[in-house]
Chain A
Amino acid sequence: MATDTDSRVIEGFGQVSRTVGTLFRYLLLASTLFGIVMLGVLLLYVANDAIQPLTADPGWHLTFLCTFVLPSLAVGGYLYRRNRPAFRLGGSLVGALAVSLMFAGGASIVFVDILDPMVWFSYVVGFALAGLGVLAIERRSHSIPFSVRFVAAIAVVGVSLLVVPNLLIDLPYALIGWAVIAYTVGGVVAAALGRYVYRSRGPRKAIVAAGGVLLAVAALALAGPLVGVDPLPASIVAAVSLVPVCSYAGVAAFDRPKARVGLVFAAVVVGGAFLGAAVADLAGFAGPESWVNWSFLTNAHSGTAADAGLYPAIGGSILLMVTVAALSFPLGVGAAVYLEEYAPDNRFTRFIDINISNLAGVPSVVYGLLGLGVFVTYAGRAMGTVLVGGATLSLLILPIVIISSREAIRSVPEEMRQASYGMGATRWQTVKNVVLPRAFPGIMTGTILALGRAIGETAPLIMIGAPNVAFSLPTELTSKVSAMPLQVYAWAGLFASEEFYRQAVPAGVVVLLVVLLSMNSVAIVLRNRYEDGN
C-alpha cells in the first residue's frame, strides 16, 4: 500500500491562466469608476469656484485644521475601529443636525415670507379636528352602519377644513407667530418623545419629557433676539432642528449605554466647528471669499453677479416641491396599490404596466409640452404659476413614484397577506392594516428620490412659461414661480458674462446640489432603517 501511494505523489497542480479574467475585471472597474470620477472632478471644480477655499488666510485653514478636522478625525477614527455603534450614533447626530438645519431654513422661508403663521395655525387646527372627528366616528363603528359613518365623516372633514380655518383667521386677535409654530411643530416632537418615554419609563416621566420639549422650544425662540435672530425663525430652528436632535441625543444617552460614547464624537465635531470659528474671529484670520454666503442665500437676482442671490428661486423650489408631493404622492401610491393588490392580470393591466415603464423614460421637455397643452392652453390657467409648474412636474415623476411604490408593495412578504386573509380580513382591511404600513418606508424612499428628480428639472418649467428670474417669492399657488435650476440656467444663458459664470452659476449649482443631496440622505436613512426592520 505504502509504495503504491508513494508512486502517486503529486509534484504540483500547475497553473491556470487568469490573464483574460484579470483584464476583464479591471475593465469593469474602470467603467464603474469612470462616471463617478468625472462627476467628482466636475463637482470639485464647481465647488472650488463657488466657495474659493484658497482665498482664505492660511491661519484660518490652520485654525480649523487644529480645532475641527484633526480632533474629528482622531475621535471618529478611534470610534470607527473600537466602537462602531457609537461611531454611527455620533455620525447620524451630526448628519441629522446638518440636514434638519437646512429643513429649518426652508421652513423659515415659508413661514416668514409665504405663509402667515395664523393661516398655518388655523389649518393645523382644522386638520386636527377633522382627524379627531373621523377617529371618534370610527370608534363607534360597531353601532352605526357604514353609510351613516361615511356621511358623518365627510361632514366632519368638510366643516373642519372649510369652516373652522376661516373662523380662526377672522378672530379679532392674532396669536404671536412664533408661539404658533413652536407649539404646532414642537408639539409633534413633544408627543413623539413623550410616547417613547411613556413606553420605557411610565407616564410621569413622559409628561416631564414632553413639557421639557415645549419649554425648550419656547426658551430658544425667546433667546433668538439675543443672538440677532427673530423669534419666528428661531422658534422654527428650535422646533425642527435643535430640540429634536437634542432629544435624540438625550434618549441615546439614557437608553444606549454602549453607543453613548458617540455623543462625544458629535460634540467634538460640532464644538470644533464653533471653536474654530471663534478662534479665527479673535485672531482676525479671514475666511474664504465664498460666493455661497448669507447674501447669496437671501438676495434676489441683481444686475451684478456679486449682489445676485437665489432667495426667490429657493422659495419657489420649496413651494413647487410641496405642490408636487401633494399631487404625486396620493395619485402615485393609489395607482401602485391598485395595480399590485386589486388589478386582475389581464391584457389591459399588462398594457398599463408597459406604458408606465415607458412613461418613466419620456424626456422631460415632452412633459413640459404636455403641461403647457393641458393646463395652460386647454384648462386656461395662467402660465408659469406654482400650480401649473407643480402639476407638470407631478406628471413627470408620477411614473417613477408608481414604479417605486409598486416595488415597495411587492416586497411585503406574501405570508403577511396570507395571515391577514386567513384571519378573515377583506382586501381593504389587508391593504390598510398590513400591506401599506409595511410598505410605507419603501414608498417614502421612492417618492423622495422622485422629488429629487423634480427639483432639478428645468425644461418642463421653461415650457410652461415659468419666469427665468423672479424677484420676489410666490405668495400663493397662482403666482409666478421660478426655481433654482431655472435661475442657474438664466445666469448661464441670459446674463452670460464672465462674472456670472465664475460667481453666481457655481454658487447656485452648489446650493441646488446640497438641497438635493440632503433630500436623498433622508431617503437613504429611511431605507436603511427599513432594511434593519426586516
Chain B
Amino acid sequence: MSNEPTETAGTDDPTDDDLSIQTDVSESVTDHGPTGATGTVVRSDAINVWYNDDQALKDITMEIPENRVTAMIGPSGCGKSTFLRCINRMNDRIDAARVEGDLYLRGKNVYDSDVDPVALRRRVGMVFQKPNPFPKSIYDNVAYGLEIQDVEGDYDEIVERSLKRAALWDEVKDQLDSSGLDLSGGQQQRLCIARAIAPDPEILLMDEPASALDPVATSQIEDLIDELAEEYTVVIVTHNMQQAARISDKTAVFLTGGELVEFGDTQKIFENPESQRVEDYITGKFG
C-alpha cells in the first residue's frame, strides 16, 4: 500500500494494562494466508463526502483486495458507514449528501456520469445493521433480487444454493413459505445475507451486520463471513474491534473527522500500528 495515509509512528511504551488487552486481541487474529497475490476490486481515489456543510469523509484513498475480508473500524460518526455507502452509491438517496472524488469498482468509476446507480447496486450486495427481511416468505425474500433484476435461471436452485451458502438452509428448508419475519434475529440476518448473495454480486458490503444480535448469533455470522470470503470480496463495517481482529484480513481505521488514519493487514494494525492515534484507539485509550 503505497498510498495509505499514516501518521508518524508513535513509540510510547504501552502500559501493562494496554499490553494485556493488545495480547488478547492479537491472539484472536485469524490468518487467511498471505494477502499479496490478489487483485483489487474497489479502489477509491480522494473520496470526500459532505452532509450539507459538514465534511464526513476526507480524501479517502484505499484499495480493497479481492476475496478478502476488509474491516472498517472506528468510533461512531467517523464516516466508516458513509464510505461503505459510497461504494454502491446509497448516499445518493440522501438529499443532503454530496460526494466528490473517484471510486473504481473493477476499474470502472462508479461516479462517472454514465453510471446508473440502480444498475450499480445490482452488482453490489449489501447487508444492513438491523436485519431487514421483507414481510414476504423466506423463498420470496431470497428470490427478490432475482425477480427485480429479471435474472434467468432456476430460481428454486438459486434460492437453495444461496440459503446453503448463508448457512440457513438446514434450519428453514421445510418452511420456505413462512414469513421471513417469523425467524429469529440471527436467522433474519443470515436470510438477508442469502438475499444479498443470490444475484451473485461482485462484492458484499456489510454495515455492522452483527451489532443488533446476541453473542451466539454474532459468532454464527462471523463464521459465515469467514466462509463467504472464499468466494466473495467482503467489506464489513464494525465498531467491535475484536470482531474485526477475528474475521478480517485487512483493516482500515477511521477516526473522528472522517479521516482514514491507517490501512493495512489486520495483524499488523492490531499488533504494531504505525500511528499513535490508532494504537490509542485500539488499546482503548479513547473512542
Of the candidates A142, A415, A423, the one whose C-beta lies within 8 Å of that of B148 is A423
Q: Which of B93, B122, B135 has the most CB of A within 10 A?
A: B135
Closest to A437 in B: B135
Closest to A344 in B: B95
Bound-state CA distance A445–B119 (Å) is 36
Find chain B residues with CB under 8 A from A345 CB.
95
Bound-state CA distance A449–B136 (Å) is 27
Binary CB contact string for chain A from 137 to 153 against chain B (1 if under 8 A, 0 otherwise): 00001100000000000
B128 lies within 8 A of A424 (CB): no
A419 lies within 8 A of B118 (CB): no
Given contacts A419-B134, A421-B93, A424-B119, contact A429 B128 (CB under 8 A): no
B130 lies within 8 A of A426 (CB): no
A425 at the interface (CB under 8 A from B): yes
B106 at the interface (CB under 8 A from A): no
A418 lies within 8 A of B132 (CB): yes
Find chain B residues with CB under 8 A from A415 CB.
128, 130, 132
Find chain B residues with CB under 8 A from A419 CB.
128, 132-134, 192, 195
Q: Which of B124, B144, B147, B150 has the most CB of A within 10 A?
A: B144
A480 at the interface (CB under 8 A from B): no
Closest to B132 in A: A415
Find chain B residues with CB under 8 A from A185 CB.
none
A434 at the interface (CB under 8 A from B): yes
Binary CB contact string for chain A from 324 to 365 against chain B (1 if under 8 A, 0 otherwise): 000000000000000000000100000000000000000000
B88 at the interface (CB under 8 A from A): yes
A422 lies within 8 A of B88 (CB): yes
**Contact residues on A (Cβ < 8 Å of other chain), bracket:** 20 to 34
Find chain A residues with CB under 8 A from B148 CB.
420, 423-426, 429, 433
A438 at the interface (CB under 8 A from B): yes
B185 at the interface (CB under 8 A from A): no
Of the candidates A141, A142, A424, A434, the one whose C-beta lies within 8 Å of that of B118 is A424
A416 lies within 8 A of B134 (CB): yes
Closest to A200 in B: B177
B121 lies within 8 A of A421 (CB): yes
Interface residues of A in 135-179 (CB under 8 A from B): 141-142
Bound-state CA distance A106–B196 (Å) is 49
Binary CB contact string for chain B from 196 to 213 against chain A (1 if under 8 A, 0 otherwise): 100100000000000000
Of the candidates B93, B119, B150, B196, the one whose C-beta lies within 8 Å of that of A423 is B196
Given contacts A345-B95, A433-B148, contact A425 B128 (CB under 8 A): no
Instruction: For the complex formed, measure the closest distance between the CB of B167 and the CB atoms of chain A, giving whole angstroms.
Output: 20
Given contacts A415-B128, A415-B132, A434-B134, contact A422 B144 (CB under 8 A): no
Of the candidates B90, B132, B144, the one whose C-beta lies within 8 Å of that of A433 is B144
B149 at the interface (CB under 8 A from A): yes
B95 lies within 8 A of A533 (CB): no
Binary CB contact string for chain A from 425 to 452 against chain B (1 if under 8 A, 0 otherwise): 1100100011001100000000000000
B135 lies within 8 A of A438 (CB): yes
Instruction: For the complex formed, measure the closest distance between the CB of A348 and the CB atoms of chain B, giving whole angstroms.
Output: 16
Instruction: For the complex formed, measure the closest distance between the CB of A353 and the CB atoms of chain B, giving whole angstroms.
Output: 17
B135 lies within 8 A of A423 (CB): no
Of the candidates B133, B135, B145, B192, the one whose C-beta lies within 8 Å of that of A424 is B145
Find chain A residues with CB under 8 A from B88 CB.
422
Find chain A residues with CB under 8 A from B118 CB.
424-426
Find chain B residues with CB under 8 A from A429 CB.
148
Closest to B129 in A: A415
Q: Which A residues contact B (CB, under 8 angstroms)?
A: 141-142, 199, 345, 413, 415-416, 418-426, 429, 433-434, 437-438, 533
Q: A420-B148, A424-B119 are in contact. List 17 more A-B contacts (CB 8 A).
A: A416-B132, A416-B134, A419-B132, A421-B121, A422-B121, A422-B126, A423-B199, A424-B120, A424-B121, A424-B122, A424-B124, A424-B148, A424-B149, A425-B144, A425-B148, A433-B148, A437-B136
Q: Which B residues contact A (CB, under 8 angstroms)?
A: 88, 90, 93, 95, 118-124, 126, 128, 130, 132-136, 144-145, 147-150, 152, 177, 192, 195-196, 199
Of all A-B residue pairs in the complex, the 5 with the closest CB atoms, nearest first, are: A424-B122, A424-B121, A415-B132, A422-B126, A419-B132
28 A-B interface contacts by CB (under 8 A): A142-B150, A142-B152, A415-B128, A415-B132, A416-B132, A418-B132, A420-B148, A421-B90, A422-B88, A422-B90, A422-B128, A422-B196, A423-B121, A423-B144, A423-B199, A424-B118, A424-B121, A424-B145, A424-B149, A424-B199, A425-B118, A426-B118, A433-B134, A433-B144, A433-B148, A437-B135, A437-B136, A533-B135
